[in-house]
Structure 1
Amino acid sequence: MRESMVAGIAAVLLGAAGPALGKVAPVEAKILGQELTPVGAERSANSAGTIPAWTGGLKTPPNGWRKGEVEINPFPEDKPLFVITAENLHLYRDKLSDGHVRMLEQYGSDFFMPVYQTRRSAAFPEHVYEKSRENAVKAELLDNGNGVRDTIMTSPFPIPANGLEAIWNHILRYRGTEVAFRSGSATPQRDGSYNPVVNDYEYFFGYSKKGAELPEIDNKIFYLKTDTISPSSLAGTITLVHETLDQIRSPRLAWRYDAGSRRLRRSPNLAYETNLPNSSSLRSVDQKDMYNGAPNQYDWTLKGKRELFVPYNAYKLHDSGVKPDDVIRARHINQSLTRYELHRVWVVEAKRRTGIGHIYDRRVFYLDEDSWQIVASEEYDQEGKLWRVSEAHNISYYSEPVFWTTMEMTYDLNAERYYIDGLDDGFPAYDFNPGFRGGDFTASAARRDARR
């Protein structure tokens, strides 16, 4: 089955079907740099010309930006081409996800989508592209689909044959090798009032470290430590996560230090449908980063590609002068700060497996073809009704060529509330070279940090 699917997708996207093999044929992998981009996206423009050809993405920072500063808008002269509202959504319905249609209908004039010129800005370092080409030839799903072998650094399947391969492309996409940043989150009430929670994040991506090999990373994708800064009632809380590549063979390891008890405890349930800490039960743990963790609770189907209006190049939201009060509004964020563009996205549907307990019975993910970043998703309840809609507003970072989120939110359509993460209150720029080592993310290191 996989052999025929790979050959068929290669024939459609590459214009030439090589021999049917369990992995992408070498001749097809070479073509990835021609008809396809190095990450497997269609290099050419669409037939209408509304999606341009990919010419390498945003390779250099704009004039006026200096290293160490928050990213500035590389497209300051861009103005909305048009604005989608509840009144005119019928003109654009074929380019809208079900979640965005529902939000336009439910929130009326309060919710609108400003659509800008499409900028295919996603770009990554050349050594990442080299690994993408190697992964295309070597990478394979494990027999249970809950892990990948013979892959390193970045998305393993530039030509995905099924939904599992596509979702692994998101989970393993390149986000640099290490990064430190401060971010605020909130769960506004229906009237827009909110109390922010501020966390320091530290990531060490062993999987993506240059020169790393799969056996050497000890089944670890990344290490993450979060340290709560405010409010005072939560300050000092530390969460430590060791994210594994095969979470069935070696489950995610997580610890949590509570400042009140002054003890670091294992958190075995920090996964799947567990409520994300400080989310007011508006988001599950596996919605962090739009989707994370073992995919074993769902059956995954690759539904193909669509052209959709999705969040992109969100430099207005990322602007260092934009404060939380500028972003947060009742029921949804300030849509005048958003930017939507027409992009080709992979559509992946996840259906809950029989006998599995999860709050979401069905989920639909929209993955940007140029980065494998999930840019939007829909979450359905046990009766099959659309319950929540999630968005990832992304930018291209400059000090390390990475296309990644600057802000994420999950909208609960029943409660008409939302969870938002990525609020900036004068915080420093992301530091993609903080000098971490794997030893900085052990349980004993976390204990030492907590006692300082």
Structure 2
Amino acid sequence: MRSQLSRVHALAGALLFALATGSAQAAVSAEEAAKLGKELTPVGATRAGNKDGSIPEFTGEKNFPEETKKYTRARLEELRKKDPDKLENDFKKNVDPAAVNPLFEISKANMAQYADKLTEGQKAMLSKYPTYKLRVYKPVRTAYYPKEIEAATIANATTAVLTGTDDLKGAKLGFPFPIPKNGAEVIWNHKLKFRGSAAKRYNNQAIVKPDGSFVLTKLVEDVKFKYANLKDPPAADNKLFAFYLSEVVSPPRVAGQITLVHEFAGTEGGGRAAWLYSPGLARVTRAPDVGYDNPALGTDNEQYNDQIDVFNGALDRYNWKLVGKKEVYIPYNSYQINSPKLKYKDILRPFHINPEYPRYELHRVWVVEATLKPGTRHNFAKRTFYVDEDSWAISSIDNYDARGALWKVQEAHLLTAPFIPTTTGIPELIYDLQSNRYFATTMVNEDAVTDFEVTYSDSYFDPSNLKRRARGK
């Protein structure tokens, strides 16, 4: 009897320890992993279309002419300035003509007909704003990644392990979890997706008031990716996976502010170390609050730090549930809304962006629900994520307040850049259903093309370099 009690106590103790520390999620079996590159794409999407043909078979890079895969930044910038029509049309050359024009439009009047393929955020927007509409096009599955990323992803399938929500081991270069078993693994795929090795981006963001007025905030952002970096592959289990440096260019009241972030796996500091330079203080300070629901600089509480890149940072304040796959209309192949022929005033309208320019397509997404853990705090008590199966990019998030009411609706207008190649969200939007304002970021129509050929040393992102840069102002 005593030995039985001892075993019971031991099992109970082990269970409590696992609950307290976060149990490790085992990698998938070799049998499951063998599906990658066959019935699944190398990064884990279902290769086949759906039963009724409304979602086609995966085609990836076949959708792009060879010349678009070889575009340099200089060539893109030349086309942006001198021949924007060619720039837009080059990406359509291999596309089925039936995918060029809208199939139908969803509005408040007919939304019930399509309700099973709409997010709760889309339903709320359609119900609240009569001018909000979704133009739906034939889907084109354009997302693809370099062969090295695909091969590394297949290798990671049987080696990557996530303990709790933030302790990642056994992954290198590729997506860590192409066959995810829980919600946290899906989010890690988004966080670590390949985006090139480095970038300098000229970002524009705006808070749009209900009357449609806005003031642009311009930033220059420098990024070096340490995890999925083909030019400088990381060592296995290197916890540091990105450097980020941004400087505000305008408006004058916030110009000169600099933010430096080191992003890493783990929960210490919310998954990052951060520093700030403020011209008013004329000094560099550590920034422990650059994370979670602390407001991002210059966003007037309309974007939290963990909403940058749609979602980023530590996952530890939420319980993550993998709901499964669902067919949803999401923003995709968003080339028209990024046309250099458009001005920001053409896009930004009262209550929501101009519905003439976004492109929505039916795609399969992973649905993940995050609910706030007891004893932790965040202004969003629940979040529902919709993650594109082909790219692992988050396309939409429904964010709920403490009362359970839908509060903020996020959208990332996905497009594939074949010259990198990666799929990313441009622009990103956060609609505030309570204030009737919205926040738009990563808008690039009127500015220079993102420099994806730039290189940075690690020392460029050292805090001491930030101090030298600040002293030079």
Q: Which moved more, 1:88-97 or 1:168-177?
A: 168-177
Question: What is the aligned partner in structure 2 of residue 208 from structure 1?
Answer: 228
1:49 matched to 2:65? The reply is: no
Which amino acid in the other structure matches residue 51 of structure 2?
Answer: S
Structure 1 counterpart SS, 2:43: coil
> Are residue 289 (structure 1) and residue 309 (structure 2) matched?
yes
Contact 2:338–2:445 (CA<8 Å) still a contact in 1? Answer: no
Q: How many residues align?
A: 429
Instruction: Report sequence identity in percent.
Output: 35
Confirm whether residue 113 of structure 1 aligns to residue 134 of structure 2.
yes
- 1:138 corresponds to: 159
Change (3 A) 1:119 1:283: same
Distance 2:422 2:396 in 1: 18
CA distance in 2 between counterparts of 1:190 and 1:417 reads 6
Q: How does 1:177-192 map to 2 (within 5 A)?
A: 177-192=197-212
Q: Which residue of 1 aligns with 2:29?
A: 25
Among 111, 124, 144, the alignment partner of 1:102 is 124
CA 1:66–1:401 in 2, change beyond 3 Å: closer, same or farther? closer
Question: Counterpart of 1:282 in structure 2: which amino acid?
Answer: E
* Change in 2 beyond 3 A, CA 1:238/1:117: same
Aligned residue for 1:390, secondary structure, equals strand
Moved more, 28-37 or 46-55: 28-37
Shift of the alpha carbon at 1:364? 0.2
**In structure 1, distance between residues paired with 2:172 and 2:331:** 28
Q: Does 1:349 align with 2:369?
A: yes
Q: Partner of 2:72 in structure 1?
A: 67
Deviation at 1:425, TM superposition (A): 5.0
Instruction: Rate the CA distance shift 1:48–1:351 in 2: closer, same or farther, 3 A.
Output: same
Q: Within the alignment, does 1:409 sit opposite 2:426 as a pair?
A: no
| Cα distance, 1:264 vs structure 2 | 1.0
Per mean C-alpha deviation after superposition, the further-off stretch among 41-50 and 144-153 is: 144-153
Q: Please tell me the residue identity of whatever aligns with 1:25.
A: S
Q: Give the Å deviation of 1:62.
A: 6.7
Alpha-carbon contact 2:327-2:365 (below 8 Å) kept: yes
SS in 2 for 1:257: strand
**d(CA) in 2 for partners of 1:84, 1:248:** 44
Counterpart residue number, 2:409: 389
Aligned with residue 111 of structure 2, among 89, 93, 101: 89
Is the contact made by 1:139 and 1:150 (CA closer than 8 Å) also made in structure 2? yes
Tell me the CA shift for residue 181 of structure 1: 1.0
Name the structure 2 match of 1:16.
Answer: none
Shift of the alpha carbon at 1:82? 0.4
| Offset of residue 451 of structure 1 | 3.3
Write the mapping of 1:122-271 to structure 2, written as runs, cut at 5 A: 122-142=143-163, 144-210=164-230, 212-215=233-236, 217=238, 219-248=239-268, 251-271=271-291
Q: Is 1:146–1:294's contact at 8 Å kept on the other side of the alignment?
A: yes
Normalised by the length of structure 1, the TM-score is 0.91
1:421 aligns with 2:446: no
SS at match of 2:252: coil
2:104 alignment partner AA: F
Give the alignment of 1:425-440 within 5 angstroms: 426-440=446-460
The 8 Å contact of residues 241 and 253 in structure 1, kept in 2 or not, is answered as yes
Secondary structure of the corresponding residue to residue 369 of structure 2: strand
Identify if the C-alpha distance between structure 1 residues 437 and 118 changes in structure 2 by more than 3 Å, giving closer, same or farther. same
Counterpart Cα distance in 1 of 2:109 and 2:401: 28
CA offsets per residue over residues 100-152 of structure 1, 9 Å max, x none?
A: 011101102x100000110100011100001110111110002x321210112
Cα drift, residue 277 of structure 1: 1.3
Alignment-mate amino acid for residue 263 of structure 1: R
Quote the Cα distance in structure 1 between the aligned partners of 2:290 and 2:62: 36
| AA in 2 matched with 1:24 | V
Report the AA paired with residue 459 of structure 2. Answer: G
CA spacing shift, 1:447–1:187, aligned 2, 3 Å:
same
**Corresponding residue for 1:446?**
466
What's the CA shift for 1:166? 1.1
383-392 or 49-58, which moves further after superposition? 49-58
3-state SS of 1:337 partner? coil
Contact 2:321 2:370 in 1 (8 A): yes
CA distance in 2, matches of 1:150, 1:63: 37
Shift in CA distance, 286/249, structure 1 to aligned 2, threshold 3 Å:
closer
Instruction: Describe the superposition over 1:13-41 as per-residue Cα deviations: whole angstroms up to 9, x where unpaired.
Output: xxxxxxxx932222432320000001100
The alpha-carbon distance between structure 1 residues 99 and 62, as it changes in their structure 2 partners (threshold 3 A), is: farther
Q: What residue identity is the alignment partner of 2:179?
A: I
TM-score by length of 2: 0.87
SS at the partner of 2:268? coil
User: Are the equivalent residues in 1 in contact too, given 2:156–2:170 (CA < 8 A)?
Assistant: yes
- Amino acid across the alignment from 1:32: L
Kindly provide the CA deviation profile for residues 206-236 of structure 1, in whole angstroms up to 9, marking residues without a partner as x.
111226244574x211000001111122221
With 148-157 and 340-349 compared, the bigger mean Cα shift is at 148-157
Q: Would you say the 8 A contact 1:58–1:123 is kept in 2? A: no
- Is 246-255 or 167-176 further displaced after alignment? 246-255
Q: Measured at CA, do residues 113 and 249 of structure 1 come closer, stay the same or move farther in structure 2, by a change above 3 Å?
A: closer
Which of structures 1 and 2 has the bigger CA Rg? 2
User: How far did 1:261 drift?
Assistant: 2.1
Code of the aligned partner of 2:147: E
Residue aligning to 2:20: none
**By how many angstroms is 1:349 displaced?**
0.1
Task: Give the equivalent residue in structure 2 for 1:13.
Answer: none
Note closer, same or farther for the CA distance 1:139–1:394 as it changes in structure 2 (3 Å cut): same
Q: Distance in 2 between matches of 1:295 and 1:250?
A: 8
| Separation in 2, partners of 1:248, 1:46 | 42
